[in-house]
C-alpha cells in the first residue's frame, strides 16, 4: 500500500501548473510552508525576474555533508495533446495515477516530502538535503543557479539522487549535449551573376555536410560506450531556413545543429573542430568576394555528460537503496551531469515512473512505482538515520 501522504502530495503538486513557461512560485511556496511546518528551513534561489525559484533545504547537522534528493518542479506543456482527463488534476484508474508530471517528476518530490516526518522521527545521523529546481525541461537552466549557491556552502552534499523516471533503475551515465544557432551572412546578387554574390545557403550546406562527415566518422571510429543504445557521440542538423527566390543569390541562411556526446569524447574539441572549419576553410572563400560576409555560431546550450564508474561507492550505495544490482546509461539528459561536473557531487539518476510516459498525453505513474520509491526512502533511512 502506498503511503496516503505520498498520494495526497502528488495530487497537490500536480495541481500547480508549472509548465516551464509559467511561474513555479506557488508550488515552491507550498513546499516551503510544508517544510516550515516540520521546522525545516529552506533557501530559495530565484531567477533574474523573480518569477521562478529553486528550493534548497537541509535536515540534520549542516556541518556534515549528506545525501541530496533532487528533482525539477517544472513540466512540459500539454498544448495540442489529447488528454482524456484534466492533466493538472490527478485521476486514478486501476493501478495508475494520471496527470502531467506524475512520472516526470513530481511523484519523486512528493514521496520525498511525504517521508520527511519519518526521517525526522528516526533522527538523522547523516544529513538529508533537498534540491528542487525550475526550468529543467528547457535546458536545465534553473539548477545552474542552485549549483552556484551550493558551491558557496561550507559543506556540500556528498552525493545526490536525481529522481527522474527510471522505473527505479540505477542510472550511472547520460550523454552531454551542446546545441547551436548558426547564421550564414552572404551577399545578395542576381542569380545570373552568381559568382559576384556569396550564396549563404551553399555555405550552410557545406558546413552541414562537414558536421555530417564528423557524425559518420564517430559512428564508424568511436569512441564507443556499450552501455548506451546509440553507443557513440552523434551530431545532427535539425532546422534550416534561407533564401527568398530562385533568381536571387541568398543573403542569409540560418540553421540549428547539436551534438550529444559520450563522456570519453571531449565536447570542446568537437566544437573547436567545427568552428575551425568555418573560420579556416569556409570564411576565407566567402571573404574573397566580400569581407563583410561570414558565419556566426552561437552556442545555445551546454549540458555536461554524466559518467560514474560502476564500482563507485555512490553507485553501490544507491543500488543497495534500490534493492538491485544492475545499472544502465540513458539517452536523455538530466541535471545529474551538472551536479557531477559543475559541483563535484556524484549524482545517480534513480526515480519512480517510466520515461516512456513522460512528455506524452495521459502521462501516468504506476502506484507500484510509488511503493518502490517509498521502499527506497525507507532503506535510505536505515542507512542515514540514528534509529
Ligand atoms: Zn524530467
pLDDT computed for residue 248 by the predictor: 97
Å from CA of 103 to ligand 1 middle: 8
Å from CA of 132 to ligand 1 middle: 12
| pLDDT profile of the chain (387 residues), mean per 10 | 95 97 98 98 97 97 95 96 97 95 98 98 97 95 96 96 97 97 98 96 98 98 95 97 97 98 97 98 98 97 96 96 95 94 97 94 97 98 95
Å from CA of 78 to ligand 1 middle: 15
- The neighbouring-strand residues paired with 69 are 130, 161
Q: Which of 150, 153, 146 is nearest to 47 (CA)?
A: 146
Å from CA of 177 to ligand 1 middle: 16
**8-state DSSP, 283:** H
Å from CA of 137 to ligand 1 middle: 7
User: How many CB atoms are located within 10 Å of the residue 315 CB?
Assistant: 19
pLDDT computed for residue 332 by the predictor: 87
Å from CA of 104 to ligand 1 middle: 5
Å from CA of 279 to ligand 1 middle: 37
Whole-number Cα distances in Å, 209 to 79, 251, 274, 276:
35, 20, 11, 15
- Supply 24's cell numbers: 513555479
- Are residues 119 and 111 in contact, defined by beta-carbon separation less than 8 angstroms? no
Q: Give CA–CA dist 123/118, Å, rounded.
A: 9
Q: Give CA–CA dist 115/113, Å, rounded.
A: 5
Å from CA of 163 to ligand 1 middle: 8
Q: Give CA–CA dist 342/262, Å, rounded.
A: 17
Å from CA of 349 to ligand 1 middle: 11
Torsion sign across C-alpha atoms 113, 118, 124, 126? negative
pLDDT computed for residue 181 by the predictor: 98
Å from CA of 51 to ligand 1 middle: 20
Å from CA of 242 to ligand 1 middle: 34
Å from CA of 85 to ligand 1 middle: 21
Give the three-class secondary structure for 84: coil
Q: Which of 141, 175, 174 is nearest to 259 (CA)?
A: 175
- Supply 190's cell numbers: 542576381
Å from CA of 113 to ligand 1 middle: 18
Å from CA of 22 to ligand 1 middle: 16
Q: Give CA–CA dist 232/254, Å, rounded.
A: 27
Q: Give CA–CA dist 28/46, Å, rounded.
A: 11
pLDDT computed for residue 179 by the predictor: 97
Å from CA of 108 to ligand 1 middle: 10
Q: Give CA–CA dist 46/342, Å, rounded.
A: 19
Q: Which of 180, 164, 170 is nearest to 338 (CA)?
A: 164
- Are residues 161 and 348 in contact, defined by beta-carbon separation less than 8 angstroms? yes
Å from CA of 359 to ligand 1 middle: 9
Å from CA of 105 to ligand 1 middle: 5
Å from CA of 376 to ligand 1 middle: 19
Long-range pairs of 75-79 with CB within 8 A, sequence gap ≥ 24: 75/18, 75/19, 75/20, 75/100, 75/101, 75/104, 75/106, 75/137, 76/19, 76/20, 76/100, 76/104, 76/137, 76/358, 76/359, 77/19, 77/20, 77/21, 78/19, 78/361
Q: Which of 294, 304, 212 is nearest to 251 (CA)?
A: 294
pLDDT computed for residue 211 by the predictor: 98
Q: Which of 209, 187, 193 is nearest to 287 (CA)?
A: 187
pLDDT computed for residue 94 by the predictor: 86
pLDDT computed for residue 331 by the predictor: 85
Å from CA of 255 to ligand 1 middle: 27
Å from CA of 1 to ligand 1 middle: 25
Q: For the purposes of burial, counting CB atoms within 10 Å of the CB of 360, is it exposed (0-12), middle (13-18) or buried (19 or more)? A: middle
Å from CA of 303 to ligand 1 middle: 14
Å from CA of 100 to ligand 1 middle: 11
Å from CA of 164 to ligand 1 middle: 5
Å from CA of 142 to ligand 1 middle: 13
Amino acid at each position: 500500500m502506498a503511503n496516503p501522504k505520498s498520494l495526497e502530495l502528488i495530487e497537490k503538486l500536480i495541481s500547480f501548473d508549472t509548465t516551464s513557461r509559467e511561474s513555479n512560485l506557488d508550488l515552491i511556496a507550498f513546499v516551503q510552508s510544508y517544510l516550515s511546518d516540520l521546522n525545516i528551513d529552506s533557501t530559495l534561489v530565484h531567477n533574474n525576474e523573480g518569477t521562478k525559484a529553486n528550493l534548497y533545504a537541509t535536515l540534520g547537522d549542516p556541518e556534515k555533508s549528506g545525501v541530496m534528493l533532487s528533482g525539477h518542479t517544472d513540466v512540459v506543456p500539454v498544448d495540442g495533446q489529447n488528454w482524456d482527463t484534466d492533466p493538472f488534476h490527478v485521476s486514478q484508474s486501476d493501478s495508475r495515477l494520471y496527470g502531467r508530471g506524475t512520472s516526470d517528476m513530481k511523484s519523486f518530490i512528493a514521496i520525498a516530502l511525504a517521508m520527511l516526518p519519518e526521517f525526522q522521527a528516526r533522527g538523522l545521523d547523516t544529513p538529508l538535503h533537498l534540491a528542487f529546481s525550475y526550468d529543467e525541461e528547457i535546458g536545465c537552466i534553473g539548477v545552474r543557479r542552485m549549483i552556484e549557491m551550493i558551491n558557496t556552502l561550507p559543506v556540500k552534499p556528498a552525493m545526490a539522487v536525481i529522481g527522474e523516471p527510471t522505473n527505479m533503475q540505477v542510472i550511472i551515465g547520460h550523454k552531454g549535449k551542446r546545441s547551436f544557432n548558426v547564421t550564414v551572412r552572404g551577399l545578395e546578387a542576381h542569380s545570373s551573376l552568381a559568382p559576384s554574390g556569396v550564396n549563404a545557403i551553399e555555405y550552410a550546406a557545406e558546413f552541414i555536410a562537414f558536421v555530417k562527415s564528423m557524425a559518420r566518422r564517430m559512428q564508424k571510429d568511436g569512441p564507443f560506450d556499450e552501455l548506451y543504445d546509440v553507443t557513440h557521440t552523434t551530431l545532427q542538423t535539425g532546422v534550416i531556413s534561407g533564401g527568398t527566390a530562385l533568381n536571387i543569390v541568398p543573403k542569409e541562411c540560418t540553421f540549428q545543429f547539436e551534438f550529444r556526446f559520450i563522456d570519453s569524447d571531449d565536447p570542446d574539441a568537437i566544437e573547436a573542430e567545427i568552428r575551425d572549419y568555418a573560420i579556416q576553410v569556409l570564411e576565407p572563400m566567402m571573404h574573397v568576394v566580400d569581407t563583410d560576409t561570414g558565419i556566426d555560431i552561437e552556442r545555445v546550450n551546454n549540458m555536461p555528460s554524466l559518467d560514474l564508474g560502476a564500482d563507485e561507492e555512490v553507485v553501490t550505495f544507491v543500488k543497495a537503496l534500490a534493492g538491485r544490482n544492475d545499472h544502465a546509461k540513458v539517452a536523455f539528459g538530466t541535471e545529474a551531469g551538472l551536479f557531477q561536473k559543475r559541483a563535484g557531487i556524484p549524482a545517480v539518476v534513480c526515480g519512480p515512473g517510466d520515461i516512456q510516459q513522460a512528455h506524452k498525453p495521459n502521462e501516468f505513474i504506476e502506484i507500484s512505482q510509488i511503493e518502490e520509491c517509498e521502499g527506497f526512502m525507507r532503506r535510505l533511512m536505515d542507512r542515514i538515520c540514528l534509529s
